[in-house]
Amino acid sequence: MSVTEAPDRTPSPSTHTAFLEVHDLSVHFPTEDGLVKAVDGISFAVERGETLGIVGESGSGKSVTSQAIMGLHKGSRARVSGQILFEGRDLVRIREEEMRLLRGKQIAMIFQDPLSALHPYYTVGNQIVEAYRVHNDVSKQAAKKRTIEMLDRVGIPNPDSRFSDYPHQFSGGMRQRAMIAMALVCDPHLLIADEPTTALDVTVQAQILELMKDLQREFDSAIILITHDLGVVAETCDNVVVMYGGQCVEYGGVDDIFYKPEMPYTWGLLTSMPRMDRTRTERLNPISGQPPSLINVPSGCVFNPRCAYREHVPGDACVTDHPDLLEVVPQHAVRCHIDPDVRRRIWSEQIRPSL
């Protein structure tokens, strides 16, 4: 697993290539108002059996990143650059027809809103059968058998009779299970889950996350979990990318992100959420201001207009220089001008006691 610096346009020919490697991925959308830099130079890697969390607020580019991996921007006006190496192939450059063979078979996706992701006109069973038969040359009977197996596997009661139900006859949690069954029916090696539990109640969320962990163990698949909920990240992820304004601002193992975060934005996320596991505080500590516009991205550090720790940087480097994503220790990279020793001191003296 490696994180390259943002300006590093030619990734070094490393000895080991990860299962999925994203190098300097950018997705820009030309619009009438200007160029929207939804994702701007993001790099990460995922191995099989591992879960990578991508966290950030709305508009931070987390969903666009996942859509780029799925090749969903092909044929649109979006400008995608960089590399997405999946089992040695570059998904940015392959043609739509090749992508279609991978999509659903090798790489599958679970969307946030299962009611709009499932087709209301077809039964749940038939939609899964279709997904299976597109990639596997089997009879309808065999596909149906496989589908019922999958529905059973994801915990839908009476899968035989539920096979011919329509999506509206399922509850929210069951629809999400059906989506997971559809995503996993071809045994994909990479599963992208875009806010899979955001629309669900906590009790159902706990069921679904448990299910995803079980299935990951069983199929040894890699999961990219996109979420804004740090609690979900703590529960499921091995590594975390924190995104802000289309950029990765901090990257590290889940313990580093929660116990030794160094980027002021990560601190802000951790301090602004009310927590069940700590003594109740009188006031929450929000990050002041609003998330940035992706058309007029702030100069210098993308977080600088909302950052409360700029005084620790001499001069106005925060406003003028764009900081690089630098590794502080192996597997933990931070995009910030503040001196690493000062950051660690702020974290241990000011932030952690206030959590």
Partner 1 sequence: MTTIQSADGVAPIHPAADDPDALLAVNDLKVHFPIRRGIFFKRQVGAVKAVDGVSFSVRPGETLGLVGESGCGKTTTGRAITRLIDPTSGSIRFEGQEVARLGRSQMRPLRRQMQMIFQDPYSSLNPRHPIGTIVGAPFRIQGVEPEGGVKKAVQTLLERVGLNPEHYNRYPHEFSGGQRQRIGLARALALQPKLIVCDEPVSALDVSVQAQVVNLMEDLQDEFHLAYVFVAHDLSVVRHIADRVAVMYLGHVMELTDRDVLYTEPMHPYTHALMSAVPVPDPAKENRRERILLKGDLPSPINPPSGCVFHTRCAKYREVLSDAEKERCRGEVPVLETKRPGHFVACHYPEARQDIALAEDAGVEGETVA
Q: How far is CA 277 from the centre of its chain?
A: 25
From the list 19-27, 84-92, 203-211, 326-334, the region that binds partner 1 by CB under 8 A is 203-211
Given 206, 297, 319, 328, the residue binding partner 1 (CB under 8 A): 206
Given 41, 71, 104, 173, the residue binding partner 1 (CB under 8 A): 173
What tokens appear for 6 in the block? 């943002």
- Confirm if 178 and 200 have CB atoms less than 8 A apart: no
- What does the DSSP 8-state code read for residue 270? H
- Confirm if 48 and 19 have CB atoms less than 8 A apart: yes
Q: How far is the CB of 28 from partner 1 (least distance, A)?
A: 22
Given 143, 186, 254, 338, the residue binding partner 1 (CB under 8 A): 254
Q: How far is the CB of 258 from partner 1 (least distance, A)?
A: 6
Q: How far is the CB of 173 from partner 1 (least distance, A)?
A: 6
Near partner 1 in 2-61, by CB under 8 A: 57-58
From the list 119-127, 198-206, 295-303, 337-345, the region that binds partner 1 by CB under 8 A is 198-206
Given 274, 314, 315, 353, the residue binding partner 1 (CB under 8 A): 274
CA angle 54, 57, 59 (to 5 degrees): 100
- β-strand 190-194 against 107-110: which pairing, if any? parallel
For residue 273, state whether it binds partner 1 (rule: CB under 8 A).
yes
- Toward partner 1, which CB reaches closer, 144 or 153? 153
Given 14, 290, 320, 354, the residue binding partner 1 (CB under 8 A): 290
For residue 291, state whether it binds partner 1 (rule: CB under 8 A).
yes
Distances (CA, A) of 172 to 125, 147, 203, 227: 16, 19, 12, 18
- Toward partner 1, which CB reaches closer, 80 or 270? 270
Given 218, 255, 316, 349, the residue binding partner 1 (CB under 8 A): 255
For residue 268, state whether it binds partner 1 (rule: CB under 8 A).
yes
The count of chain residues that interact with partner 1, using the rule CB under 8 A, is 48
Given 90, 160, 187, 201, the residue binding partner 1 (CB under 8 A): 201
Rounded to an integer, what distance in angstroms lies between the CA atom of residue 45 and that of residue 41? 14
DSSP string, 104-160: TTTEEEE-S-HHHHS-TTS-HHHHHHHHHHHHS---HHHHHHHHHHHHHHTT-SSHH
Cα dihedral: 111, 115, 117, 120 (round 10): 170
- β-strand 20-31 against 34-46: which pairing, if any? antiparallel
- Toward partner 1, which CB reaches closer, 15 or 279? 279
For residue 353, state whether it binds partner 1 (rule: CB under 8 A).
no
Rounded to an integer, what distance in angstroms lies between the CA atom of residue 43 and that of residue 247? 9
- Confirm if 60 and 245 have CB atoms less than 8 A apart: yes
For residue 269, state whether it binds partner 1 (rule: CB under 8 A).
yes
What tokens appear for 18 in the block? 């990860």
- Confirm if 275 and 264 have CB atoms less than 8 A apart: no
From the list 39-47, 69-77, 136-144, 275-283, the region that binds partner 1 by CB under 8 A is 275-283
- Confirm if 159 and 120 have CB atoms less than 8 A apart: no
- Toward partner 1, which CB reaches closer, 272 or 348? 272
Near partner 1 in 150-169, by CB under 8 A: 157
- Confirm if 174 and 165 have CB atoms less than 8 A apart: no
Near partner 1 in 66-125, by CB under 8 A: none
Rounded to an integer, what distance in angstroms lies between the CA atom of residue 202 and that of residue 210? 12
For residue 214, state whether it binds partner 1 (rule: CB under 8 A).
no
What tokens appear for 215 in the block? 């299935």
- Toward partner 1, which CB reaches closer, 132 or 244? 244
Region of residue 327 (left: phi > 0; alpha: psi -120 to 50; beta: else): beta
Which residues here bind partner 1, judged by CB under 8 A? 57-58, 157, 171-174, 201-207, 209-210, 228-235, 254-255, 258, 268-270, 272-281, 283-288, 290-291
